Amino acid sequence: AQSVSQHNHHVILSEAASLELGCNYSYGGTVNLFWYVQYPGQHLQLLLKYFSGDPLVKGIKGFEAEFIKSKFSFNLRKPSVQWSDTAEYFCAVNKKAAGNKLTFGGGTRVLVKP
Amino acid sequence: EAGVTQFPSHSVIEKGQTVTLRCDPISGHDNLYWYRRVMGKEIKFLLHFVKESKQDESGMPNNRFLAERTGGTYSTLKVQPAELEDSGVYFCASSRTGTGLNEQYFGPGTRLTVT
């Protein structure tokens, strides 16, 4: 079955620490990759996306992600987090041959302590 | 521009009752999607409309769920009769056709509790 795995369910870190969230998927073929974020009380927002080209993608709020095709991974990074980065983060994959639907990972709750 | 809106934000119903969720996509977005997140699980795709047509309904769990998008604008998702396992957050998303095909904008979700 096609799946998307996020390795950490919960992450707690202090302000200014670096953040890396893992995401692996199990599809073959061409994919589009996304990271979404849901801040407390808000709706899901797109952080960044990868369709093609440079595998290092820069998104909003200082986030970036790297697509490593050989590892089927799309890890999210931020060098120095802020308290306002407290949120739940979702990796999502779209298999181009399967229409527009997104397959999500289970989400990672990130708590940044001030 | 206004974002995707969903109504109601919360709904609590008893097992066996009927509930109808509504989604208003971003104006001009032909693609409309429904997703669901059951407690503690991942967000799962339910179905995809292109205008008023169902493009992909492979994620609909069973025939107690009926989605419509008459006129290609807003969409409704009806659950009849509701069961306990239907509890969760139902998200709607929309996207343009063309180059923005895969960038989906999400609504705030409807939290459904079936007791």
Residue pLDDT, tens place only, B14-70? 999 999 999 999 999 999 999 999 988 999 999 999 999 999 999 999 999 999 998
Cross-chain residue pair A100–B106, CB shorter than 8 Å: no
How close does chain A come to B58, measured CA to CA in Å? 10
Residue A35 · residue A76 · CB < 8 Å: yes
Cross-chain residue pair A49–B103, CB shorter than 8 Å: yes
> Which value, to the nearest 10 degrees, does the dihedral of the CA atoms of residues A24, A25, A30, A35 take?
-60
Distances (CA, A) of A104 to A54, A75, A91, A109, B83: 23, 14, 6, 14, 24
Instruction: Supply B16's token pair.
Output: 């066996």
B48 vs A90, A100, A103: nearest CB: A100
Residue pLDDT, tens place only, A39-96? 999 999 999 999 989 999 999 999 999 999 999 999 999 999 999 999 999 999 998 8
Residue A23 · residue A72 · CB < 8 Å: no
Confidence of residue A2 (pLDDT cuts 50, 70, 90): low
Residue A113 · residue A96 · CB < 8 Å: no
- Residue A72, CB-side half-sphere exposure with 13 Å CA sphere: 14
pLDDT higher than threshold 80 for residue B110: yes
Query: What average pLDDT does this structure show over A95-109?
Result: 90
B102 vs A90, A94, A105: nearest CB: A94
Question: What domains, with CATH codes, occur in chain A?
Answer: 4-113 (2.60.40.10)
A46 vs B41, B58, B103: nearest CB: B103
Q: Closest chain B residue to A9 measured between Cα atoms?
A: B40
What pLDDT is stored for residue B1 in this prediction? 64
What fold characterizes domain B5-114?
Immunoglobulin-like (2.60.40)
Q: Which has more pLDDT, B99 or A82?
A: A82
Biggest distance spanned by C-alpha atoms of chain A = 44
